[in-house]
Chains A and B, each alone.
Chain A
């Protein structure tokens, strides 16, 4: 009647043991954390006696996965940045002017002269002299367009041309924009990762969210300023030809040019060409240094193609000035004295030492393809996090003890059995959380406390049923069996509905709320498991030993 086959018994105990085994490292949190850190450190830098001691403090045959603590518990910075993907369209289109001009120039005889006109960002407009040659001009330009590589494989072209009288306007197709957004995001994630690494903190989380957002979480950072300083700058370095200098910021720069302020000389502006000679993407190294006068400077080195382009340009333009542009501002505009071969040089300006260190770090990490704006920022001090952990721990222990006592008072021996299951239940939750690498947040702790309260529900349902069956004058064994059998449908229905809400919370929630959904969901699974299998097994073992003629629940 109350038979549970041996294999079932063994599997139940084995599952419990496995869960508790996985939960064990959390009981020695700091030791295991230092062990894990030391293992990583040794791999990176080699062994020192202190590191080896940290490693040896936790046996290597033991599991070492811990529950991650969320930012609200550990302290740190959470930033949600939006990538201004549209920025890249204008850069791309502006950069094509030279190619467009060259291809049309080859048939100057039929098309006539070509002039660039002012256009909205993301558009290139030009006027051709011979209107009759418009079809030929468009035909030539269409050879520039490439099919867009998309997953859907639809062969749409990347450029769209339109003509109106003698004016041609060129822009990017929607498919190309989508593909570029994708590339921009991938690039941005990579560069954000490299820059965050410069801060040198452990385990930062850098995640893409939605189509154009990046979530950055850096534990252990006390202030968001440093991080925002590092991420808030695009650090786009370019070398551009200078058209002329001016003092009037309102002057019309002319088509294909733009006006930029000077960093060091207030009131001084430069009109520079939109297309860059060389850009930051060709940089391979940047270091803080000093110039011949002892001023702070940043040295840089180009890769081969950058060095080639820079060399050719300087050779052709000796005597004319070029501008070193950083994020839309002219840092300096030296005159080219001679052909600069070898592709290295220094940038001078009125830098402080800190600025040169930061600038060279940013240049090394690479420019962001588009600007980041911050939509959400949360900084939690480590002190507050520690307080929350402490308060959560005490609340958990008190809740736990109170529920244990209450259960024994209400159900006697059976209450004690339910308590065994409850202890195993909490252990299993921690084991599962560690195993899947979930993050424990403050609402997550609330989820565990709630689970402690609700986990007994399934047992309560069963015990109440057994009481009813006993009242109906059934024998002990039969009452226990019927109690489990009849309570099952209520347990399943009640828990599935709660589980549904946990799933919805998980899908729709973010950050701490997600943490709550995880502990609530896992808690439901483990509490149903412990109630249906573990307490039942305990009750059966007890019954087999004692063979009571009468039971009181």
Chain B
């Protein structure tokens, strides 16, 4: 049977390519066409901010949710996204957050309340500072208008006395071109494939502003429960494969994107010592305050346990990944299945 699968990312984006199109193919093959996904990219079925309700209401049965758009619905998931400001290894962050989201009772409850079943997480590559003017020190940042992409980045901008502004994605390019903004945070692909900022922003400061792992791929709860355990196993293991392939692709693309930008005249700037130091101070303070600010701002109960679980998982994954070829998606798939998915009991997972 055919079911709708939806994402708000555009057709060429990794999430659409790996997690929806390729995934749909793998699942169709492994189930002999019993489960076919019809893919709707770019929010053509429902706007990005409505993806969770669209999955809950069966507009689509499988899809990508960016929880940052629905902080009131998925507050704990957003805490994890705040947390990856400290992540310096996107692949480890991706797999660690997948592990935590699959296993945390609190998060599972949050998803179940929305009739969602979590499938995999992800992590974009490291966010840098992409500017139309050279920035290397804390002093350079003062009073600069920065387009930020997450609450943690906003807090950081305030910490360095920059001004964070909300600019829609479609206005980043012209904003940098005309100077209504000085910088945008963004991963390497912002310079090339996704936003083409290399034309208008000739300076990129290689200071790590964390990654993104907001939400992930989810199934509609009723759809999931109507599947046989064998089908659920197929659905999960292929998610592991799609996720491994996505992170391999992204890591490679991030590298080539920086090279391409450099060859197109974008200056890659190393942060000065004082900026590095300020960054360390900020992250330390940030991490210390996170449980409290989360309780205050996001209205969750004490997330310390979740935060610790993530930090532990991230360390474990850094370790696991040090023994494996990070460009070998088959090996990574196997690792994900062995370390995470094999432990999921398909008889009970997501079934209430």
Q: Do A and B bind each other?
A: no
